[in-house]
Amino acid sequence: MADVANHRTSRTAGEPSTAELVQRATEQISRLVRDELALARAELTQKGKRAGIGIGLFGGAGGLAVYGLGALVAAAILLLALVLPAWVAALVVAVVLFAVAGILALVGKKQVSQAVPPVPTATVRSVRADVDTVTAAVKDRGRA
């Protein structure tokens, strides 16, 4: 019993108590969780924006493809109705529209592929690093 009393008084004045350490850890973990959630929210917002741009470009490509199909149909009608140079102009317009649609589709595909999967990978890595740091600190504190 005397050893316990002597042990308590032998603690240095600069060393915090267990209660203070627990309080600090609680505050730090709370701040860490809030920061990680903010990082996840920011990352998901960025990925959502990329997905939106990609979907919009896919929509634009689809719209231009419809116009290209219309121009191709007009070219076929002009070709059948009259064998005149007018069908060549319609065919050139159709080819240009399809080329633009293809470019938009490729750019849209790239945007969507950058947004998928919608998992906040940077946040996951950061949380894992935080857990590893806390685990190492607890192990080191237990050895001391």
- Over the stretch 69-94, which tens digit does the pLDDT of each residue have? 888 777 766 766 665 667 677 777 77
**Stronger pLDDT, 67 or 77, i.e. the higher one:** 67
Dihedral (CA of 50, 51, 54, 55) sign: negative
Q: What confidence tier does 18 reach under pLDDT thresholds 50, 70, 90?
A: confident
| Residue 9, pLDDT above cutoff 60 | no
| Residue 19, pLDDT above cutoff 60 | yes
- For 128-137, write each residue's pLDDT tens digit: 888 888 788 7
How far apart are alpha carbons 68 and 66 in whole angstroms? 5
Comparing CA positions, the residue from 142, 140, 139, 132 lying closest to residue 32 is 132
Residue ranges in 1-144 assigned as alpha helix (H): 2-9, 18-81, 86-115, 121-143
pTM, two decimals, is: 0.42
Report residue 61 as tokens: 């490509």
Mention every residue, 6+ apart, whose C-beta is less than 8 A from residue 51: 111, 112, 115, 116, 118
User: What pLDDT is stored for residue 80 in this prediction?
Assistant: 62
Q: What confidence tier does 97 reach under pLDDT thresholds 50, 70, 90?
A: confident
User: What pLDDT is stored for residue 4 in this prediction?
Assistant: 46
Comparing CA positions, the residue from 68, 63, 65, 62 lying closest to residue 91 is 68
